[in-house]
Amino acid sequence: MEPEPPAAFREKAKVMDAEAIRRALTRIAHEVLERHKGSDSLALVGIRTRGAILAQRLAKAIEAVDGRPVPVGVLDITLYRDDLSRIAPNPVVHATEIPFDVTELHIVLVDDVLFTGRTIRAALNALTDLGRPKTIQLAVLLDRGHRELPIRADFVGKNIPTHLRERVEVRLAELDEKDEVVLETPVDAEVR
Amino acid sequence: MGATLTTSRAAQTARWTRKDLLDLRTLSAGEIRLILQTAESFREVSLRPIKKVPALRGRTVVNLFFEPSTRTRTSFELAAKRLSADIVNITTQQSSLSKGETVLDTVRNLEALKVDILVIRHAAAGVPHLVAKHAAASVINAGDGAHEHPTQALLDLFTIQEKKGRIEGLRVSIIGDIAHSRVARSNIWGLTKLGAQVTVCGPPTLLPPQIEQLGVRVTHQLDEAIRGSDVLMLLRIQHERQEAMLIPSLREYRLTYGLDQDRMSRAKPDVLIMHPGPVNRGVELDSSVADGPFSVILDQVTNGLAVRMAALYLVAGAQGKPEDAGMFPADA
Amino acid sequence: MAKLLIRGGHLIDPANGRDGRFDLLLERGKIADVQPAIPANGARVLDAANQLVVPGFVDLHTHLRQPGREDKETIESGCLAALRGGFTAVCAMPNTTPPTDHRGAVDFIHREAQRLGLAAVHPIGAITKDRQGKELTDFGELFGAGCIALSDDGHPVADAWLMRRALEYAKVFGRPLIQHAEEPRLAAGGVVHEGLVSTTLGLRGIPSEAESVLVSRDIALAELTGGWIHFAHLSCAQSVELIRQAKRRGARVTCEVTPHHLALTHEAVEAFNADAKVNPPLRTEPDRQALLEGLQDGTIDCIATDHAPHTEWEKAADFDSAPFGTSGLETALAVCVETLVAPGRLSWSRLIEKLSAAPAKLAGLAAGTLSVGAEANVTFIDPSARWTVDPQRFASKGKHSPFAGCTLTGAVVRTLYRGVG
C-alpha cells in the first residue's frame, strides 16, 4: 500500500511566470536546432495534455528561428501506464494524433514536468510501437528530481529542488487561463 | 488541437464505475457518450503498424458463446488482443441444463481459473445478468436472446456519429423483426437516450406489444419509414419466422418490407443504410443496396472493434478498488 | 391425550361467526369446548394472549412432488412447510411421476401422509390418463379412493369436446374439475405476461387472453352441462369479470387466487428474477386490482397457494430455462396480511375464511372450523410480528420466493394438527 495522498495543498512558491516560460522555450528551441544542426527530419511529440501544448509552442519558437515549420504530434500514454491494474475506474483514454510516420525521424518528446520518469517510460514504449525513430530526445519545462527509472532530459527549461510530497502545478494559458508554474506543499499536517 | 482538448475535457465529466456492460437500458446518456468517446480514441490504435497497446496486459478475457457467432466473437477476440489481454474462446451449443449443469456451473469453473472478463452470448435473455450477479469477473453482454446486444448498438451509434457528426435530432428507422431482435432493443435505448427520433417498422406479427411505450413511433408501412429518415437500419429476418407463421413467406416479406433500389429512390439523398449482419441478400435488403454508396455496413464492422476495445477497457478498469485516478502525479 | 386449554387469545372462526376473546379446550385431538372463559380444571394451559387463534388453513392447490421429484419436495417436507404456514390440510395436485391418475397413486399419498401424521393430505386426481388430455381417467375409482377433485393442473384440458364429457361425467360424483385455464397455442413458449416487461426484456409473452379464452369456453361448457368447474390461480381482470357474470347467471363456477398474484405484478420479473417466474404469469396492476376486487366481492371463492417448489439449481438457471412456480406455503399468510388486511381490503375474519372455511367447503372437507367436535386443527398468529423472508429457512425444499428479503407483518407462531404441534 502506498501512503495516502495529501488531502490539500497550499502554494509555497511561484517557480516560473509567463515570461520565464517563454524564455525557457525560446532557449530550448535554440538548443534543439543547434543539437540537430537545423530542423531536417525533426518532429516534436507532446505528451498529453500540457506536454502537447508545450510542443505546439516549442514548434512555433523553432519556426521563428529557423523559418520552417516542424511537424507536431500528440501522444496519449494512458494505455501504456504501468499502474492501470491498480487504479479504478480506468482513466479516460484520448487519441494519439501523430500525423506523420515517426520512422527515421529525430523525435523530441515534450512534457511539462519530469518527475519519477514513469510517464517518459510509457511514452517511449508508445512511441516505439508507432515505428522506429532514428533518435528520441526529451525536452521538459521543469525537472523536479526524484527519478525512479534511469531516465534524463536532453533539454530542460528549469531545474527545481522539491520535496517528494510537494506538487508542481504547471498552468498554461490554453487550459488554465494564465502561464505559471507553482510549487505547492501539502497541508495535511494542519488539516488532520 | 483546441477542439480535441475541448472534447477531452467533456469526456472527463462522465466516469465509468460499472463492473459489467449488460444493456443500454440502464445506462445514462453520459455513460453511453463516454464509451463512444473512448472508442474514438481506440480507433487510432487499429490504424497503426503495430496494432496493439499494453493496456490489458496480464488480464484474461473469456469469450463464452452458447450460440454460434463468428462476427461478434472475432470482433471481441481482436479487441482483446489489441489491448494485450489473453483471450480464450469457448463455444458450446449444447444446452448445459440438459446435462444437469447450469450456466452458473460453467461460470464457476471459469472463475476458479481466475478470469477477469467474461464476454457472454446466449440464446436466452438474461443470462449475462444472471452471471453478472454471481460472478466476480466483469461481464459483457455479447447478445442475449431477444433482449439486448449493447456493443452492436454502440457501434451503430458510433458509426452514425462518425458519418453524420451527431445523433441528436436525427431520424432513424429500424425495419424488420423488432420482436425477436436484441439489436433493435439496444438501439432503441441508445438512440432515444442520445436524442434521435426512432421509428420501428415491420408487420404487426413482428412488433412486440407496447413497443411505442419505449418512446418510438410505430409504422407498418415501409415507405413511411423510409421517407425523411437519416438512417435506415435493416434487421435480419430469420427463416424460423416463416415456420412460426409470423410471416407468410420470405418472398412475401421481401415484397412488403424488402429494401430495393426502387424504394431507395424515396429515401433522403444522404441516407445511411445499416445492417447488423449477416445480410439475407434479396430478402430484407437487395444486394445492390447492401453494396451501394449509402451502405455503411462494413464501417459498422470496423467500428465494432474500437467500441469493443472501449468496452473491455472500461469494465476492466471498474474491477479494482475504487481509487482516485486523478491523484496520479503530473509525471509518474 | 391430556386436555389442552388455549387461553386468552383472540379467536376467529368464520364458519361459526366467532370473532373475539374466547378460550378453546382441546381433548383427544378434538375441539371439546369454546367459551369466553374456560377454567383450567387440570388441563395444560397454553397462553395465547395477543395472538389470533384460528382454524388450521386448507390449501386447495399444493404441489408435493412425491412420487417422482423428491429432490424438489416430499410429502413430509411439504407437510412441514404447510404447518409453518399455518396449514393443516393440503390438496395435492396430481402432476407427479407417476401422476395421480389411478387408485394406487391415491393410496400411496394417503398411506404416506397417514404414516407421517403431520397434516392432512387430500389427493386431487388427474382428469385425463397420464395428464395427456386424451382419455379420461376412471373418475369413480379416483373419487372412491378419496380424491377431492380432479385436475390436469400444469396442463389445461385443451380439447373442448373432452372437457365437455368430463364435466358431464363428473356430475355423478358432485365434485369439481379444476381447470388450469391456459390456451396452449396462445401461451406457447411464453415465460412472462405479454406486455411492456416482456417487450423490454425480450422474453416470450403469455397474453392474458390465453387464460380468459379458456375461462370463457369452460364457463360455456359448465352452463351447457351443468357440471362444476373450478378455475385454479386466476391471474387477469377478464377472467374475474367472466366469472362474476357467470356466477350472476347461476353457473356452477368457482375459483381461487394465489397470494403472489394478489401481491405482485409482472414488474417483479425485472432484472430477470426467475423467483417471480410463475404460471400463470404475474400480470399488470389493473389485473391485480381486479383480483383484489374479485376477492372482496366474493367472485373469487378462496385463496390457494399454488405452492410449486423447485430445487435451487433449477431456479438459478436462466429465465427461459428456470421452471415455473414458487414456494408459497410459508409466506401465504403474511403476504395476504400485507396485501389484504393492512390496506383494509379484507378484515382478518374474511381473510381467515378465504384460507380455511372457504377452501374446505370447496374441497368438501369437514375442516376449516373450530366447531366443537371438529378435529383440533388450530393456527396461532402473531398479527403484529414483523419478519424478513429468508427462503433458506423454509421447511419446504423449495428454497425460493419472489418475496425473499421482504419484511412482512403477521407470523404463524404455532400450528396444531389434531391437537399436536
The pLDDT assigned to B8 comes to 39
The pLDDT assigned to B11 comes to 42
Cβ of residue C299 closer than 8 Å to a chain B Cβ: no
> Are B173 and B231 spatial neighbours (Cβ–Cβ below 8 Å)?
yes
The pLDDT assigned to C166 comes to 98
Indicate yes or no: CB of B4 within 8 angstroms of CB of A118. Answer: no
> Are C350 and B175 spatial neighbours (Cβ–Cβ below 8 Å)?
no
Indicate yes or no: CB of B209 within 8 angstroms of CB of C194. Answer: yes
Looking at every residue in chain C, the average pLDDT score rounds to 97
Contacts of B40 in chain A (CB under 8 A): 95
Indicate yes or no: CB of A49 within 8 angstroms of CB of B332. Answer: no
Touching partners of A (3+ C-beta pairs < 8 Å) = B
Q: At residue A2, does pLDDT exceed 60?
A: no
> Would you tell me how many other CB atoms lie within 10 Å of the CB of residue B168?
11
Closest residue of chain B to C313, computed from CA coordinates: B102
Provide mean pLDDT across the span A27-35.
96
List CB contacts of B10: < 8 A, sequence separation 6 or more. B37
| Distance in Å, alpha carbon of C19 to nearest chain B alpha carbon | 48
- Residue A185 has phi, psi (to 5 degrees) of -125, 145
Question: Across the beta sheet with C30-35, what order do the strands follow?
Answer: C30-35, C23-27, C4-7, C44-47
Placement of cell 421481401 in the chain: B254
Q: What is the ipTM of this complex?
A: 0.89
Cβ of residue B130 closer than 8 Å to a chain C Cβ: yes
Placement of cell 425495419 in the chain: B175
Q: For residues A54 and A57, give the distance between their C-alpha atoms in angstroms, rounded to a whole number.
A: 5
Indicate yes or no: CB of A118 within 8 angstroms of CB of B320. Answer: no
A window 123-142, beta carbon within 8 A of B: 125-126, 129-131
> Are A60 and A39 spatial neighbours (Cβ–Cβ below 8 Å)?
no
Q: For residues C314 and C320, give the distance between their C-alpha atoms in angstroms, rounded to a whole number.
A: 11
Q: For residues C389 and A52, give the distance between their C-alpha atoms in angstroms, rounded to a whole number.
A: 60
State the fold for domain B2-148+303-323: Rossmann fold (3.40.50)
> Are B257 and B203 spatial neighbours (Cβ–Cβ below 8 Å)?
yes
Q: Answer with the residue of higher pLDDT: C171 or C270.
A: C171
Contacts of B126 in chain C (CB under 8 A): 201, 203, 272, 318-320
Nearest to B121 by CA among B100, B99, B98, B103: B103
Q: Sign of the CA dihedral C403, C406, C410, C415? A: positive
Q: From the candidates B20, B122, B147, which should be mutated to test the interface with C, based on the most C CB atoms within 10 A?
A: B147
Indicate yes or no: CB of C316 within 8 angstroms of CB of B130. Answer: yes
Catalytic residue among C306, C318, C320, C390: C306
Indicate yes or no: CB of B329 within 8 angstroms of CB of A76. Answer: no
Q: Band of the pLDDT at A189, cuts 50, 70, 90?
A: low
Q: Band of the pLDDT at B204, cuts 50, 70, 90?
A: very high
Q: Which superfamily is assigned to C56-369 in CATH?
A: Metal-dependent hydrolases (3.20.20.140)
Contacts of A83 in chain B (CB under 8 A): 328, 332
The pLDDT assigned to B98 comes to 53
C109-146 pLDDT tens trace: 999 999 999 999 999 999 999 999 999 999 999 999 99
Question: Across the beta sheet with A9-17, what order do the strands follow?
Answer: A9-17, A180-186, A167-171
Contacts of A174 in chain B (CB under 8 A): 2, 5
Range of weakest confidence among B133-137, B231-235, C214-218: B133-137
Indicate yes or no: CB of A78 within 8 angstroms of CB of B38. Answer: no
Q: Label residues C307-332 b or e (16+ Cβ within 10 Å = b).
A: bbbbbeebbbbbbbbbbebbbbbbbb
Cβ of residue C321 closer than 8 Å to a chain B Cβ: yes
Q: Following DSSP, what letter does each residue of B103-155 receive, concatenated?
A: HHHHHHHHHHT--SEEEEEESSTTHHHHHHHH-SSEEEEEEETTTB-HHHHHH
| Distance in Å, alpha carbon of C244 to nearest chain B alpha carbon | 28
Contacts of B127 in chain C (CB under 8 A): 318
Looking at every residue in chain B, the average pLDDT score rounds to 88
Q: At residue C242, does pLDDT exceed 70?
A: yes
A window 3-32, beta carbon within 8 A of B: 5
The pLDDT assigned to B322 comes to 41
Domain boundaries, chain C: 56-369
Give the angle subtended at the CA of C183 by the CAs of C258 and C153, to the nearest 5°: 45
CB nearest to B330's CB, from A80, A115, A120: A115
Indicate yes or no: CB of B147 within 8 angstroms of CB of C205. Answer: no
Residues of chain C with pLDDT > 90: what percent? 98
Provide mean pLDDT across the span B306-316.
96
Touching partners of B (3+ C-beta pairs < 8 Å) = A, C
Q: For residues C91 and C360, give the distance between their C-alpha atoms in angstroms, rounded to a whole number.
A: 10
Give me C337's grid cell: 396480511
B243-263 pLDDT tens trace: 788 999 999 999 999 999 999
Q: Following DSSP, what letter does each residue of C57-90 receive, concatenated?
A: EEEEEE---TTT-TTT--HHHHHHHHHHTTEEEE
Domain boundaries, chain B: 2-148+303-323, 150-300
Q: At residue C197, does pLDDT exceed 50?
A: yes
Looking at every residue in chain A, the average pLDDT score rounds to 90
Whether C306 is catalytic is yes
Q: Answer with the residue of higher pLDDT: B104 or C397.
A: C397
Q: At residue B331, does pLDDT exceed 70?
A: no
The pLDDT assigned to B329 comes to 36
Asked if chain C contacts chain A via 3 or more Cβ pairs within 8 Å, the reply is no
Closest residue of chain B to A103, computed from CA coordinates: B49
| Distance in Å, alpha carbon of B15 to nearest chain C alpha carbon | 23
Ranges assigned E (strand) in C302-375: 302-303
Cβ of residue A66 closer than 8 Å to a chain B Cβ: no
CB nearest to A115's CB, from B44, B325, B329: B329
How far CA B187 is from CA of B154, B254, B277, C263, in Å, comes to 8, 23, 15, 34
Provide mean pLDDT across the span A113-119.
96
Q: Which superfamily is assigned to B150-300 in CATH?
A: Aspartate/ornithine carbamoyltransferase (3.40.50.1370)
Q: From the candidates C199, C203, C266, C285, which should be mutated to test the interface with B, based on the most B CB atoms within 10 A?
A: C199
Indicate yes or no: CB of B146 within 8 angstroms of CB of C203. Answer: yes
State the fold for domain A18-80+94-165: Rossmann fold (3.40.50)
The pLDDT assigned to B9 comes to 39
- Residue C82 has phi, psi (to 5 degrees) of -60, -50
| Distance in Å, alpha carbon of C185 to nearest chain B alpha carbon | 11
Q: At residue B326, does pLDDT exceed 50?
A: no
| Distance in Å, alpha carbon of C74 to nearest chain B alpha carbon | 21
Q: At residue C267, does pLDDT exceed 90?
A: yes
The pLDDT assigned to B100 comes to 56
B78-108 pLDDT tens trace: 999 999 999 999 988 765 555 556 788 888 8
